[in-house]
Amino acid sequence: MLDIAEVAEKTGLTASALRYYEDLGLIEAVGRRGLRRQYEPSVITLVGLISMGRAAGFSLTEIGQIFGKDGKPSIPREELHRRAEEIDRQIRDLKTLSALLRHVAECAAPSHLECPKFQKLMRVTFKQNAKR
């Protein structure tokens, strides 16, 4: 069993953020010792999941629908697949962005938008993203 402070430390969030997640129904404590919340170690995994979802651009409410504390997603299969595809698209964008950042770090061109290498990197992504 874990104190909120331990969960905070292991997840990198603050105790107040964890309580906030609880208010939203994203996580829950298995019980209390006095007033203090006691958490199962598995909550760390769950919080990790939440953080990944946040990083992927989901709102906390959406995340709740996908990985609620009850573990039963309240959104349809089809929608989940759609989200997965969105993430796959985002992964492609991020790959480009990562390459662009490294390029910007090294390239001495006056404006990057005019650098041919830069433009080439961009073009790939914009083709993929067209009409999105």
Question: Which CB sits closer to a copy of itself, 34 or 110?
Answer: 110
From 91, 120, 124, 128, residue interacting with a copy of itself (rule: CB under 8 A)? 91
Q: Can residue 124 be called a binding residue for a copy of itself (CB under 8 A)?
A: no
Task: Supply φ then ψ for residue 66, to 5 degrees.
Answer: -85, -50
Q: Can residue 106 be called a binding residue for a copy of itself (CB under 8 A)?
A: yes
Question: Which CB sits closer to a copy of itself, 19 or 83?
Answer: 83
Question: Which CB sits closer to a copy of itself, 5 or 124?
Answer: 124
Other C-beta atoms lying within 10 Å of the C-beta of residue 2: 18
**Degrees to nearest 5, angle at CA 67 with 72 and 2:** 110
Question: Which CB sits closer to DNA, 24 or 99?
Answer: 24
Q: Can residue 52 be called a binding residue for DNA (CB under 7 A)?
A: no
Other C-beta atoms lying within 10 Å of the C-beta of residue 44: 16
Q: Can residue 55 be called a binding residue for a copy of itself (CB under 8 A)?
A: yes
The entry of a copy of itself, DNA, none that residue 66 binds, CB within 5 to 8 Å by partner kind: a copy of itself
**CB of 124 closer than 8 Å to CB of 96:** yes
Pairing relationship of beta strands 31-33 and 36-38 according to DSSP bridges: antiparallel
